[in-house]
Amino acid sequence: MAKVVVDAMAMQRALTRITYEIIERNKGVDDLVILGIKTRGVYLARRIASRLQQLENVTVPVGDLDITSYRDDIEHDADRDPKVSAANINFSVAGKKVILVDDVLYTGRTIRAAMSAVMDLGRPKSINLAVLVDRGHRELPIRADFVGKNIPSSQRERIKVSVSEIDDRDAVEIQQA
């Protein structure tokens, strides 16, 4: 059984608000780079970048972070941490204000791995985290700076984010396991 908790309109609004909050927090868009965590974080990152482009007429670099081995929301991999690769990023992050973008923030392990991958590339001025959904159950001391929606969830539930670029629609659903 699936329940839609964020519909297409609400997802658009959430990304719009996150974009404005990024401008508020960073006092503009200078030195900003946006890194999306695959798969859906990449599309969210591009949408935020396109909004910044619309508002500020500035092209903010967008890169992909690839989760290479396993995902932390799949039960049998729970004892191994995810690995994130920054191999696709062809610009420098040194001295930049990095915005990491992911669809769901859960244990925090992916984000920790993503931060390591970014810092292997260079020394950013700062790293902020933007997520569409924060579902709780953190296992590491990590929190998001920009949250689309807080969805307190049970660990038995699955949060499914759909984006229209690769799915049939924009939505966030809760599925009972």
Q: Which residues bind other proteins (CB under 8 A)?
A: 9-10, 12-14, 16-17, 19-21, 23-24, 27-28, 51, 54-56, 147, 150
Using the minimum distance from each CB to other proteins, give the nearer residue, 13 or 158: 13
Q: What are phi and psi of 147, to 5 degrees?
A: -120, 125
Using the minimum distance from each CB to other proteins, give the nearer residue, 84 or 171: 171
Tokens of 39: 């798969």
Least separation in angstroms between residue 57's CB and other proteins is 10
- What does the radius of gyration of the chain's CA atoms come to, in whole angstroms? 15
Using the minimum distance from each CB to other proteins, give the nearer residue, 55 or 140: 55
From residue 70, alpha-carbon distances to 22, 47, 54, 132 in Å are: 30, 25, 35, 21
Least separation in angstroms between residue 174's CB and other proteins is 18
Phi-psi domain of 9 (left: phi exceeds 0; alpha: psi -120 through 50; beta: other): alpha
Least separation in angstroms between residue 168's CB and other proteins is 20
Q: Tell me if 129 sits within 8 A of 114, measured CB to CB.
A: no
Least separation in angstroms between residue 133's CB and other proteins is 13
Least separation in angstroms between residue 127's CB and other proteins is 19
Using the minimum distance from each CB to other proteins, give the nearer residue, 10 or 119: 10
Three-state SS at 135 = coil
Using the minimum distance from each CB to other proteins, give the nearer residue, 11 or 113: 11
Q: Tell me if 174 sits within 8 A of 161, measured CB to CB.
A: no
